Amino acid sequence: MADQTSVSIRNLDLSFGAVEVLKDLNLDIGAGEFLVLLGSSGCGKSTLLNCIAGLLEINAGQIHINGRNVTWEEPSARGIGMVFQSYALYPQMTVRGNLSFGLRNARVPKAEIARRVKEAAEILQIEPLLDRKPAALSGGQRQRVAIGRALVRHVDVFLFDEPLSNLDAKLRADLRVELKRLHDRLGNTMIYVTHDQIEAMTLADRIAIMRGGRIMQLASPGEIYNRPANRYVADFIGSPSMNFYEGHLTQDAQVFESGDFRVPLAAYPFDSAQPGGRPVTLGIRPEHVLTGPMAKTAPVAMGATVEMVEPMGSDTLVWARVAGLPLRLRMDGQAAVAPGDQLDIGLDLARAALFDAKTELRL
Amino acid sequence: MSSTDSVPGGRRPARPPRRLTRNMTAKVASIPMVLTALVIFVGCTVWSIVYSFTKTRSIPKLEFVGFDQYERLWSTNRWLVSIENLAIYGLCSMVFSLVIGFVLAALLDQKIRFENTFRTILLYPFALSFIVTGLVWQWILNPNFGIQKVVQDLGFENFAFNPLSNADTVIYGVLIAGLWQGTGLIMVLMLAGLRGIDGEVWKASRVDGIPAWKTYIFIVIPMMKPVFITTLVIIASGIIKVYDLVVAQTSGGPGIASEVPAKYVYDFMFGRRNLGQALAGSTMMLVTVLIVLIPWAYLEFGSKKRG
Ligand SMILES: Nc1ncnc2c1ncn2[C@@H]1O[C@H](COP(=O)(O)OP(=O)(O)OP(=O)(O)O)[C@@H](O)[C@H]1O
Ligand SMILES: [Mg+2]
């Protein structure tokens, strides 16, 4: 990953009146890194992004961008470009006007402005639109222009606040790929706010999952998916979400028990030796429940009864019951299962997750 | 065969339903109102215009005299003063209400405390009738117990502020009262317009490094064009209503220095029993209003069809 930090946030506090939104937040982002801030609505993602941009005055802490303390700098002096969910284009100006207004205001020479506008328009393929007004553009084109407005600033850090949320699903997928290409091509640091996990998983070098103004886990998409640090992250990532079972560890910490549901933990990769005999939560993703020939050879094998089947084309989601507990599992799209069937299943414990019932942290 | 039947439009009736009979009840119900509107607005307007070309004095008489009434109108000093006053009042109140209203709205929009209190205070005069406003400002501007007296009592013996008794300044005295009453409403309209601007546009312009005043002038105000057009119409209707204010505040004095066209019409109609002359004046006012209204209607409704 990046060898040099680009954005560094130290002990950031921010509150709106009496409402504390961000609490003692620390975050380091490497140069050229694509960091995604992911979390449910109202968790403070936009607020954090606005703090980095300088659009909100913070109550305490420091923000450094490229090694410079910018805590008290104006947004325009921080070396950032920003793209908004509502595009926020200047409606009375043409696309060219939108791209160049900030530069003209900063008294950049005319020739240089023309060069930068041309370059940005080429990268984003909006050259034919340069003389149109935003009202005459589609949503996708508008968002391209908004990205262009950040591009012409020639800054090191791009901030995106849910830039694709207002677009339809197909366009969103297209633009997502384009953003990824843009990042590969420019190599800028990008901080990207979204509540769409697909966007987060596909775009990010690292994902910061936020909840209630705190970062719950900061790691690569693979790590977050495979080794969620706590129950909230495990539940938040993955669709359909993880199966959770409340139970306890046996005294020797070798078996998870929840009534008749007993799972030997020999294959579970504990972070450290754990004392037994206490309440824990076992989580297993629907796609990590093995079926067919693999189920027989799995270290943990058992039988399940199918209750409901949801065919989704590429795969099939099966709602089943094992030892009286509900279990969702994902099977091949062609799997022939029907309610009432008995299934042999296995649990891929290497990819399961055990959480302490009280602290909700991974064991 | 069966597939052609299910094509949409395949079973379309041979004739479209009669336009006239659709929503018949509603149409019948609205006839009285349509008639009222036609008779009162269109009918009376036409009647006024026709009789402005006659010799009519107090009893309407269809004895045409061509443009005689208009010639007399435009050679009457009092009418000319009225027109001049209306022009000054109109122009100034247009400019100042817009500027002051917008600036107040922009100040209120800075997320200040007690915003509601300020808004209520500034909007309060609007709830008063022009008559009350006129009387209040007649007192405030009265040299013997208004502003001038108060400032002199504070020790500034030579202070003079007495616009109402000077023929050259009296219309500005009326203007102050008019602005005091009308600006609150303009401010509230502008504030609503400002609040309608997407906050992200402001953020974008801050990131672009554009100073606030430039953002207002080049981005926000152009985005508020519809609000401005509506506001202009409201100001224009206030300008035409200035009659009440003048009657209450100065009665057209000193002399004829603060006369306005509506007062001229009123006086000739009811005071001097010269209907023909009054109707000529009112027709001229109608022409002025149309000159204002037609471009507005074009701006407001014409562009939407294209857009
Ligand atoms: N101007 C404000 N005044 C008071 N509270 C605010 C303000 N802006 C945001 N908040 C609160 O701060 C919290 C975080 O808001 P924020 O906009 O950062 O959420 P978010 O994570 O971006 O959510 P979303 O995904 O819906 O955009 C919310 O609980 C919100 O109610
Ligand atoms: Mg947000």
Query: Residue A265: which CATH number?
Result: 2.40.50.140
Residue A81 forms beta bridges with which residues? A158
pLDDT of res. B12:
54
User: Is any Cβ of chain A less than 8 angstroms from the Cβ of B67?
Assistant: no
Classify residue A150: in a domain, yes or no.
yes
* Boundary (domain end) residue, out of A236, A253, A271: A236
Cis preceding-peptide flag for B261 (omega within 30 of 0): no
Clarify whether residues A32 and A97 are in a common domain: yes
Clarify whether residues A126 and A180 are in a common domain: yes
Q: Three-state SS across chain A?
A: CCCCEEEEEEEEEEEECCEEEEEEEEEEEECCCEEEEEECCCCCHHHHHHHHHCCCCCCEEEEEECCEECCCCCHHHCCEEEECCCCCCCCCCCHHHHHHHHHHHCCCCHHHHHHHHHHHHHHHCCHHHCCCCHHHCCHHHHHHHHHHHHHCCCCCEEEEECCCCCCCHHHHHHHHHHHHHHHHHHCCEEEEEECCHHHHHHHCCEEEEEECCEEEEEECHHHHHHCCCEHHHHHHCCCCCCEEEEEEECCCCCEEEECCEEEECCCCCCCCCCCCCCEEEEEECHHHEEECHHHHHCCEEEEEEEEEEEECCCEEEEEEEECCEEEEEEEECCCCCCCCCEEEEEECHHHCEEEECCCCEEC
Classify residue A51: in a domain, yes or no.
yes
Classify residue A362: in a domain, yes or no.
no
Which residues sit with their C-beta closer than 6 Å to ligand 1?
A 16, 19, 21, 39, 41-47, 195
Neighbours of A254 (CB within 10 A): 12
Split into its structural domains, chain A has a count of 2
* Boundary (domain end) residue, out of A220, A236, A252: A236
Clarify whether residues A210 and A188 are in a common domain: yes
The answer to whether the beta carbons of residues A305 and A311 sit under 8 Å apart is no
Rounded to an integer, the average pLDDT of A257-274 is: 87
| Residues of chain B predicted below pLDDT 70 | 1-18, 302-307
Clarify whether residues A254 and A231 are in a common domain: no
Rounded to an integer, the average pLDDT of A71-99 is: 93
In angstroms, the CA A29 to CA A38 distance is 15
pLDDT digits (tens, 9 = 90+) for A28-42: 999 999 999 999 999
The number of the ligand 1 atom at minimal distance from the alpha carbon of A17 is 4
Classify residue A361: in a domain, yes or no.
no
CATH code for the domain defined by B70-306: 1.10.3720.10
Rounded to an integer, the average pLDDT of A245-262 is: 90
User: Is any Cβ of chain A less than 8 angstroms from the Cβ of B222?
Assistant: yes
pTM for the model stands at 0.82
Neighbours of B277 (CB within 10 A): 25
pLDDT of res. B18:
67
Judge residue B286's burial from the number of C-beta atoms within 10 Å of its C-beta, 0-12 exposed, 13-18 middle, 19 or more buried: middle
Clarify whether residues A277 and A165 are in a common domain: no
Tell me the chain A residues in contact with residue B209 when contact means C-beta distances shorter than 8 Å: 74-77, 102, 105-106
pLDDT of res. A133:
94
Clarify whether residues A248 and A176 are in a common domain: no
Clarify whether residues A251 and A198 are in a common domain: no
- Strand pairing class (A206-211; A214-219): antiparallel
Q: What is the mean pLDDT of chain A?
A: 91
Clarify whether residues A248 and A159 are in a common domain: no
Classify residue A203: in a domain, yes or no.
yes
Residue A247 forms beta bridges with which residues? A280
Interchain pair B209, A80: CB under 8 A: no
pLDDT of res. B116:
82
Classify residue A145: in a domain, yes or no.
yes
- Cα A177-A178-A181 angle, rounded to 5 deg: 90
The answer to whether the beta carbons of residues A158 and A36 sit under 8 Å apart is no
Q: Where are the domains of chain B?
A: 70-306
Classify residue A363: in a domain, yes or no.
no
Q: Give ipTM to 2 decimals.
A: 0.87
pLDDT of res. B301:
76
Rounded to an integer, the average pLDDT of A278-283 is: 93
pLDDT of res. B5:
46
Is it the case that residue A275 has pLDDT exceeding 90?
no
In angstroms, the CA A144 to CA A87 distance is 9
User: Is any Cβ of chain B less than 8 angstroms from the Cβ of A359?
Assistant: no
Q: Whose structure tokens read 């020999």?
A: A266
Beta-carbon contacts of residue A118 (< 8 Å; ≥ 6 apart): A127
Clarify whether residues A262 and A231 are in a common domain: no
* Boundary (domain end) residue, out of A236, A256, A282: A236
pLDDT of res. B17:
60
User: Is any Cβ of chain B less than 8 angstroms from the Cβ of A80?
Assistant: yes
Measuring CA to CA, how many Å separate B146 from each of B150, B160, B167, B172?
Answer: 6, 11, 19, 16
pLDDT digits (tens, 9 = 90+) for B77-87: 999 999 999 99
Task: Give the ligand whose atoms come closest to the C-alpha of residue A160.
Answer: 2
The number of the ligand 1 atom at minimal distance from the alpha carbon of A40 is 25
Clarify whether residues A190 and A289 are in a common domain: no
Q: Whose structure tokens read 């209707």?
A: B237
pLDDT digits (tens, 9 = 90+) for B239-289: 877 888 888 888 887 888 888 888 898 888 888 888 888 999 999 988 888
Cis preceding-peptide flag for A75 (omega within 30 of 0): no
Q: Whose structure tokens read 């507005």?
A: B296
CATH of the domain at A209: 3.40.50.300
pLDDT of res. B11:
53
pLDDT of res. A53:
94
Clarify whether residues A180 and A257 are in a common domain: no
Measuring CA to CA, how many Å separate A10 from each of A16, A28, A69, A72, A217?
Answer: 19, 8, 11, 14, 17
Sheet holding A261-264, edge to edge: A261-264, A255-258, A243-249, A279-284, A353-356
Q: Which residue of A has its CA nearest to B209?
A: A76
Domain coverage including residue A195 = 5-236
Clarify whether residues A288 and A327 are in a common domain: yes
Neighbours of B273 (CB within 10 A): 13
Neighbours of A304 (CB within 10 A): 21
